[in-house]
Amino acid sequence: MQQIRRNRRLRTNEAIRSLVRENIITPHDFLVPLFIVEGKSVKEEIPSMPNYYRYSLDLLGDEVKELWSLGLKSVLLFVKVPDHLKDNKGTEALNSNGLMQRAIKTVKETVPEMLVMTDVALDPYSSYGHDGIVEDGKIINDETCKILAEMSLSHAQAGADFVAPSDMMDGRILSMRELLEKENYKNTGIMSYSAKYASAFYGPFRDALDSAPGFGDKKTYQMDFANRDEAIKETFMDIEEGADIVMVKPGLCYLDMVRDIRDVVDVPVAVYQVSGEYAMLKAAAEKGWLDHDAVMLEQIMAFKRAGAQIIASYFAKDVVKLLS
């Protein structure tokens, strides 16, 4: 038979390639993580995350304005809590005038239309660096859920649009949803880190927030990275409990899960390209071993191709600047 089908016809030049391209990257895809610290005029680079910074509240406004001007309309807030405010129960997390609560207000006062999501977990507030309350060397579940629910309410009261629990306790979505409903925060959404794996890729983030576990690891609550079916179970349970958006984390090594989950759920699927993924590319590019921008775009496109509808990424600003 003479060859009649030739796939290369659709790759002849950029015009035809762009005409048949199946996915595109836009600023609307991104959720921008932001690290906040106490102090004045602080913009400090995170050593293991080159060109990524912690901001004090007085500089947060400018950063948020810049993001908005670039078309980035959603932020995910994390706070670095001073050591003297840390304890086992995350007391400071419920302070209505705490750093997170003030950060939410700062963003909303500067750019009211900016969508504000907040990290809900105890680790930045915990003297043990764990995501839950510690008792006899164990992370206790139900007591932790109660505090996470109160923390969510506190963020909602400060003006957060979505709360994003990153802890992996059982039943936390239900605890949070019930309290938010009861207190009439019916429109506050929940983006659940539903399939969050116990990963070594979180290292630089723990440097950024000084939140590394003081003992042991997070394997009794975060998922075993050998597991695939379990991620589906976790995700369906979170949706039943009231999650509006589900997430897979980390990103690149877990694209199979992004696709598996996207194929079976009816809520938006987010992916988190985590700090270690960011650090790896920065390091390789610094050495001249990889083309930073080209690899960055290829990775972001991989998330879209896998089916992610929301991408939390430290590269968000770089990508959008490059594309414009």
Under the criterion CB under 6 A, does residue 313 sit at the interface with ligand PBG?
no
Residue 123 touches ligand PBG, criterion: CB under 6 A:
yes
Q: C-beta of 214: minimal distance to ligand PBG in Å?
A: 12
x-or-dash pattern for ligand PBG, window 149-178, by CB under 6 A? -----------------xx-----------
| Interaction of residue 205 with ligand PBG, rule CB under 6 A | yes
User: By C-beta, is 63 or 167 nearer to ligand PBG?
Assistant: 167
The window from 91-99, 119-127, 225-233, 255-263 that contacts ligand PBG (CB under 6 A) reads 119-127
Strand 115-120 with 133-135, pairing: unpaired
Q: Are 54 and 36 in contact (CB under 8 A)?
A: yes
Measured from each CB, the residue nearest to ligand PBG is 205
Q: Out of 80, 86, 218, 249, which one is annotated catalytic?
A: 249
Q: How many residues bind ligand PBG (CB under 6 A)?
A: 12
Contact flag: residue 121 with ligand PBG (CB under 6 A): yes
Site string for ligand PBG, 78-117 (x = CB under 6 A): ----------------------------------------
Please report whether residue 63 would count as binding ligand PBG according to CB under 6 A.
Answer: no
Is 80 a residue of the active site?
A: no
The region, left, alpha or beta by phi > 0 then psi within -120 to 50, assigned to residue 129 is left
* Span of 57-65, 133-141, 198-206, 288-296 interacting with ligand PBG by CB under 6 A: 198-206
Of 80, 86, 196, 218, catalytic: 196
d(CA 318, CA 284) in angstroms, rounded, equals: 17
Per the annotation, the verdict on 249 as an active-site residue is: yes
Q: Residue 14 CB, nearest distance to ligand PBG (Å)?
A: 34
| Shortest Å, Cβ 59 to ligand PBG | 21
Q: Is 238 in the site for ligand PBG (CB under 6 A)?
A: no
Considering only 131, 161, 241, 260, the residue that binds ligand PBG (CB under 6 A) is 131
Q: Which amino acid is at 291?
A: D
User: Using CB under 6 A, which residues numbered 263 to 282 contact ligand PBG?
Assistant: 274-275
Q: Residues interacting with ligand PBG, by CB under 6 A?
A: 119, 121, 123, 131, 166-167, 202, 205-206, 218, 274-275
Catalytic residues: 196, 249
